[in-house]
Amino acid sequence: MTADEALEQLLREAHPVDHTERCPLTTALGRVLAEPLTAPHPLPPTDNSAMDGYALCHRDLSPSAPTTLLVTQRIAAGDLPQPLITKSAARIFTGAPLPSGADTIIPQEQCTANDERVTVNATARRGQHVRRAGEDIEQGALFMTAGTRLQPQAMGLIGANGIASITVFRRLKVALLSTGNELLMPGHNLQAGKRYNANHFTLTGLLQALGCEIIDLGTLPDKLSITRKALKAAATQADIIISSGGVSIGEEDHIKNAIEQLGRLEIWKLNIKPGKPLAFGEISSKPFFGLPGNPVSLFVTFCLFARPFILRMQGIENVQPQTIKMRAQFSHTGKGTRQEYVRSRMATTAEGSAVTTFGKQGSGVLHSTVWANSLTIIPPATTINPGDTVEVIPFNELIT
């Protein structure tokens, strides 16, 4: 199964949550808007100055010589200006409202002034350096659609419209569990035959970045009755269940048997590298993901498959990561039929922007994901030479 085929099938089963809640704008970062927003007033609400300088009427300027005008008022941001007297100017500051009768701003650097008069020493274009009311957003205009995941700049735009609280989809609850008698949590002494549960923390961070509420089921021992009980309980609390360690047919892997007893399970063999095994199913109508145990495989499959699924459940329509074309600064000999997602770093060099790859690309080399800032996509059986154009997914499209 190709990556595109797997994602298409997954998204057919991803349905947005139907519960919403009111959210103060101050805590809206990462939340998903559940209502369209229209502007209650123009933005900006009034004509205002884009510069520190002098507001005047353009027709009062001489086209061929410096013009001296009487300064009749001083206007700062937040002031209520008086109408401008004919053949006068107003001292004005950035963001201050334009007085009626004025249509042009002269930057202070182009003027000679004292407390009473100002001489304009440069030619000016009528309307220059004036921000018109509604030039950003007109009153009544739709400025944000439902399904928008709120970033800081979106919060600023909502605040600029005077909106203090918004309706958002509720946070998804994700049950997170690991299986394996060999796993230890950090803080315990490392013992023979044991290893620390890195995947738990990778997934915790990825889910937190998506604004999910995590139900931590911890590490389950390799015992069917305990696994079955934990999964059944998780399905009553969570919207999605995610297991790190994947699902195999080994004698000590009880996830597969437990899920098949409680619901349905499919094990897909994806033609991607890393991340060939991926399990997907449901327990009591709650989606289940079984991600690979190798740490890089887990990272890649979460970013490519679980993340878009979660985004769709959060109410977001466009869930595909954006890719960019870059010049390769590496060599790669393609083998086999699997599409590769190699850990890579985008950088600007003397020759322009280029992407290079981490030296060790094994699915257990977790350090590669910290060094990298992107995944470079290499189609099956494709050889890459320095200078070739490659397709790259920046990490800011995958982990934020």
Q: What is the pLDDT of residues 344-389, one digit of tens each?
A: 999 997 778 999 999 888 888 888 999 999 999 999 999 999 999 9
Instruction: Answer yes or no: are the C-beta atoms of 61 and 68 closer than 8 Å.
Output: no
**What mean pLDDT do residues 14-23 have?**
95
**What mean pLDDT do residues 160-186 have?**
91
Q: Cα-atom radius of gyration of the chain, to the nearest Å?
A: 30
Spatial neighbors of 127 by CB under 8 A, at least 6 apart, are 58, 103, 104
> Are both 190 and 304 inside the same structural domain?
yes
**What mean pLDDT do residues 315-321 have?**
94
| Number of domains comprising the chain | 4
CATH number of domain containing 221: 3.40.980.10
Alpha-carbon gap, residue 263 to 250, rounded angstroms: 20
**What mean pLDDT do residues 244-269 have?**
78
> Are both 216 and 203 inside the same structural domain?
yes
Alpha-carbon gap, residue 104 to 106, rounded angstroms: 7
From the list 247, 32, 223, the residue with the least C-alpha distance to 146 is 32
CATH number of domain containing 64: 2.170.190.11
7 pLDDT above the threshold of 80:
yes
pLDDT computed for residue 154 by the predictor: 98
pLDDT computed for residue 397 by the predictor: 96
Handedness of CA 27, 208, 262, 224 (dihedral sign): negative
Phi-psi domain of 317 (left: phi exceeds 0; alpha: psi -120 through 50; beta: other): alpha
168 pLDDT above the threshold of 90:
yes
C-alpha angle with apex 373: 309 to 311, nearest 5 degrees?
A: 15
> Are both 159 and 212 inside the same structural domain?
no
246 pLDDT above the threshold of 70:
no
In a domain, 92, yes or no: yes
Q: Which of 112, 131, 150 is the last residue of a domain?
A: 131
Q: Is the pTM higher than 0.85?
A: yes
In a domain, 357, yes or no: yes
pLDDT computed for residue 223 by the predictor: 83
In a domain, 319, yes or no: no
> Are both 215 and 299 inside the same structural domain?
yes
> Are both 34 and 156 inside the same structural domain?
yes
pLDDT greater at residue 28 or residue 180: 28
In a domain, 374, yes or no: yes
Q: Which amino acid is at 77?
A: A
**What mean pLDDT do residues 131-139 have?**
98
249 pLDDT above the threshold of 60:
no
> Are both 228 and 334 inside the same structural domain?
no
185 pLDDT above the threshold of 80:
no
pLDDT computed for residue 6 by the predictor: 93
> Are both 205 and 296 inside the same structural domain?
yes
Q: Which amino acid is at 244?
A: S
Alpha-carbon gap, residue 112 to 352, rounded angstroms: 45
> Are both 175 and 308 inside the same structural domain?
yes
> Are both 190 and 246 inside the same structural domain?
yes
In a domain, 318, yes or no: no
250 pLDDT above the threshold of 80:
no
Judged by DSSP in three states, 348 sits in: strand
> Are both 246 and 368 inside the same structural domain?
no
pLDDT greater at residue 171 or residue 178: 171
69 pLDDT above the threshold of 70:
yes
In a domain, 52, yes or no: yes
Domain that holds residue 214: 3-16+171-313
224 pLDDT above the threshold of 90:
no
pLDDT greater at residue 1 or residue 51: 51
> Are both 202 and 105 inside the same structural domain?
no
331 pLDDT above the threshold of 70:
yes
pLDDT computed for residue 144 by the predictor: 98
> Are both 272 and 372 inside the same structural domain?
no
In a domain, 194, yes or no: yes
Alpha-carbon gap, residue 52 to 111, rounded angstroms: 11
Mean pLDDT of the chain: 93
In a domain, 197, yes or no: yes
pLDDT computed for residue 248 by the predictor: 63
